[in-house]
Copies of this chain bind each other. A is one copy, B any other.
Amino acid sequence: VQPHPAPRRADARPATADVPARRSRRGHGRITLDDVAALAGVTKITVSRFLREPDRVAAPTAARIRDALADTGYVRNKQAELLASGRSRIVAALIPNLAHSIFGETVHALSEGLQTEGFELLLASTAYSLEREEDQLRALLGWAPAAVVVTGRRHSDGARRLLLDAHAAGTPVVEVWDYRRDDAAPFAQIGFDHAKVGREMARHLLDAGHRVLAYVGSPIATDFRARERGAAFVAAARRAGAEVIDTTAAAGDPFDAGRAALAALLGPARRRVAIACANDQVACGALLEALDRHHVVPRDVAVLGFGDYPLGRQLRPALSTVRPPSRAIGEAAAQAVVAALKQDAAPQGRALACTLIARGSTRTEG
């Protein structure tokens, strides 16, 4: 641990004409522009200018300011900066779940894309609750963000109102992880059509020759996108004349839920089924349970997941799954937001594609 000089603070503020010694409502002890300026022998506006446009101050002055900044360990106060400049370089994003989730890559890509353009990402999670979404959205809007990114196209009336107000005030609003061509929503959508994915999942299992199809849905009632996939899966399977079982995974550990779902589906009365799951974790649980029970995969039991988590590739047979364009969504959202802000126009929506990855859990290899 290196010792280091305590932060220097100018004792006397630069005398501002005949203003009485500042009544110091609170100092919080932090270094301000005035402190740096005093040390550099200039006024704060020169330091401020140096911070924004270094080339516009004379070289010797710049050198003194540089020293003063390093000496004091000055950190610019964002609140004051944003309030004064009127334009925030903050993008607020609202995601259902931060920890251990499918949204990780989206957030990462979004963050990178924004950072390279000089924007900061302010993140909050909704825990899949519409009510919480509204609360968090209100909190985020308090930061006066330059743009807003939300997940999905379903919101509470209050949240929708907030988004529409922001939109009306010229703040770009982007909805990610969903896309409906026919949707007349006012916000740009960047994502994919979940109903279409559900149909493709059914089609894949039907094409593999299965005639008994099950969907194991998410235990989260407000995961509208998973529900949409499930509903479309069920409808498509029924249309094709298959026997369809529509179930929901138990709450709690998703692997255990997948195991339990498989156990419930199979028994003396039923020995063959093709299962599509709301996510790969549930699917891995189902697949592991099927293997433990010595069912023949994929002939008797086929399992199809969603999300393309790294684990699925490791099982034997490996898990078939749908890979969502997680990273592309984040990249596209960053691009859309940045472009909209630069051109002062409404952001552009974009449809992205999922990829169905057929592996051993649904298809006999070779």
Residue A54 lies at the interface, judged by CB distance under 8 Å to chain B: no
Within 8 Å CB of A144, what residues of B? 28, 30, 77-79
Interface residues of A in 1-22 (CB under 8 A from B): 1-2, 4, 6-7
Contact A107 B100 (CB under 8 A): no
Contact A28 B83 (CB under 8 A): no
Contact A160 B2 (CB under 8 A): yes
Within 8 Å CB of A267, what residues of B? none
0/1 interface trace, chain A 89-103, chain B, CB 8 Å (1 if under): 000000000111101
Residue A357 lies at the interface, judged by CB distance under 8 Å to chain B: no
Within 8 Å CB of A254, what residues of B? 310
Complex CA–CA separation, A21 to B122 (angstroms): 35
0/1 interface trace, chain A 57-76, chain B, CB 8 Å (1 if under): 00000000000000001011
Residue A29 lies at the interface, judged by CB distance under 8 Å to chain B: yes
Shortest beta-carbon distance from A191 to chain B in Å? 18
Interface residues of A in 75-124 (CB under 8 A from B): 75-83, 86-88, 98-101, 103-105, 107-108, 111, 120, 122-123
How many residues on the A side are at the interface (Cβ–Cβ under 8 A)?
A: 69
Within 8 Å CB of A25, what residues of B? 86
Partner of A107, one of B98, B161, B285: B98
Residue A343 lies at the interface, judged by CB distance under 8 Å to chain B: no
Complex CA–CA separation, A311 to B88 (angstroms): 42
Within 8 Å CB of A73, what residues of B? 161-162, 165
Residue A251 lies at the interface, judged by CB distance under 8 Å to chain B: no
The interface-forming segment of A134-142, A217-225, A271-279, A296-304 is A134-142
Report 21 cross-chain contacts, Cβ distance below 8 Å, ordered by A residue. A1-B185, A2-B157, A4-B164, A7-B168, A26-B87, A28-B169, A29-B168, A30-B144, A75-B138, A76-B142, A80-B83, A98-B108, A99-B107, A99-B108, A100-B100, A100-B101, A111-B125, A253-B310, A284-B314, A285-B314, A288-B316
Interface, chain A (partner B; CB < 8 A): 1-2, 4, 6-7, 25-26, 28-30, 73, 75-83, 86-88, 98-101, 103-105, 107-108, 111, 120, 122-123, 125, 138-139, 141-144, 157, 160-162, 164-165, 168-170, 184-185, 253-255, 259, 281, 284-285, 288, 292, 310-311, 313-316
Question: What 5 A-B pairs have minimum CB-CB distances, sorted nearest first?
Answer: A99-B104, A29-B169, A78-B142, A26-B86, A79-B83
